[in-house]
């Protein structure tokens, strides 16, 4: 299993390299036409609190990490992602610029601690995939992890 992360801007680059994009936002942009796995999105109060400044980065990380730690079986999570995508190359997608604070970055760190190396995928030079060149289906999945 190869896991990567990226933002929506780089989805077509991920597709070009054979990765199946899976949104980990509860409400992905309407133009995203891939699979959606909102189980890994932060709880709505957490996302809203962070965006309006009532929750700090530190508190966001602490609470989101507690949510992730409730996942009993990391192998089951990875297997679920593989089953819904039909692929061993998955790119977890969310809002936010690469390298900036986001739940995608926190999830990547958490996955790495659990033994699933994860790397942020940015635009690769030479990738020529465009929206018209790829087809995706927009389906929402839940594994009832919590």
**Predicted pLDDT at 1:** 83
- Helix 57-69 vs helix 44-51: crossing angle, to nearest 10: 170
**Predicted pLDDT at 43:** 93
- Asked whether the predicted pLDDT for residue 63 surpasses 80, the reply is yes
Tell me the pairing of strands 118-120 and 2-7: parallel
Q: From residue 2, give the alpha-carbon distance in Å to each of 30, 56, 82, 92.
A: 26, 31, 10, 11
Q: Give the integer Cα–Cα distance in Å for 125 and 1.
A: 24
pTM of the model: 0.81
3-state SS assignment for residue 23: strand
Q: What percent of the chain has pLDDT over 70?
A: 83
pLDDT, one tens digit per residue, over 81-90 is: 999 888 889 9
Q: Give the integer Cα–Cα distance in Å for 114 and 112.
A: 5
**Predicted pLDDT at 67:** 94
Would you tell me how many other CB atoms lie within 10 Å of the CB of residue 66? 9
**Predicted pLDDT at 137:** 53
For the segment 116-127, the average pLDDT, to the nearest whole number, is 64
**Predicted pLDDT at 103:** 93
3-state SS assignment for residue 97: coil
Token couple for 6: 């990226």
pLDDT band at 23 (very low <50, low <70, confident <90, very high): very high
């Amino acid at each position: 299993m190869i896991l990567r992360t990226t933002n929506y801007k780089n989805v077509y680059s991920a597709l070009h390299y054979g990765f199946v994009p899976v949104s980990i936002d509860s409400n992905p942009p309407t133009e995203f036409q891939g699979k959606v796995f909102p189980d890994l999105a932060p709880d709505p109060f957490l996302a809203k609190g962070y965006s309006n400044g009532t929750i700090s980065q530190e508190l966001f990380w602490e609470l989101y990490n507690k949510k992730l730690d409730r996942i009993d079986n990391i192998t089951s999570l990875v297997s679920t992602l593989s089953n819904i995508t039909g692929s061993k190359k998955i790119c977890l997608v969310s809002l936010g610029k690469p390298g900036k604070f986001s739940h995608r970055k926190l999830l990547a760190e958490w996955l790495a601690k659990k033994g699933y190396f994860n790397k942020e995928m940015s635009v690769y030079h030479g990738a020529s995939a465009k929206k018209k060149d790829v087809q995706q289906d927009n389906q929402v999945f839940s594994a009832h992890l919590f």
